[in-house]
Structure 1
Amino acid sequence: MSEILTPKEVQKKYDWSYSTWRRRREECQISPYKDAIIMESQRRCHVKAKRFEEFLEWKSKQIYDERFGLV
């Protein structure tokens, strides 16, 4: 089973503020990697660590491609 993190653990792992975590979570939820976020309720969620890392890599590639005109 993959590692499941709480939002606070994600914030600590990446040294993010709450607002940065919230933006990343929202971006993830509308991406092909939305299954990285496990919604328990409207206000409570957990994160599949490996899948969330895949999302961050995908997002990084998108930014890189846009910046250097590779899209």
Structure 2
Amino acid sequence: METHDLIVWNSVIGAFAQNSDGDEALNLFKRMKRCGFLADQATLTSVLRACTGLALLELGRQAFPVRNHHN
């Protein structure tokens, strides 16, 4: 595709993650961020799925740090 928006990025990342190609999903996620796109909930779900499939859950946690709101 010539133009990419967040829906396109999420769709392709999600497809790779769902089809057990976590490496490619994570590569696209990194590329998406370099292109200036911000991740949303759909991105988070796909990246975590890719990390889980690759047994890289800690990498997923690093990509989306959870903030403690109980201060």
TM-score range, shorter chain: under 0.3
Structure with the bigger percentage of strand: 1
Structure with the bigger percentage of helix: 2
- Calculate the TM-score normalised by the size of structure 1: 0.28
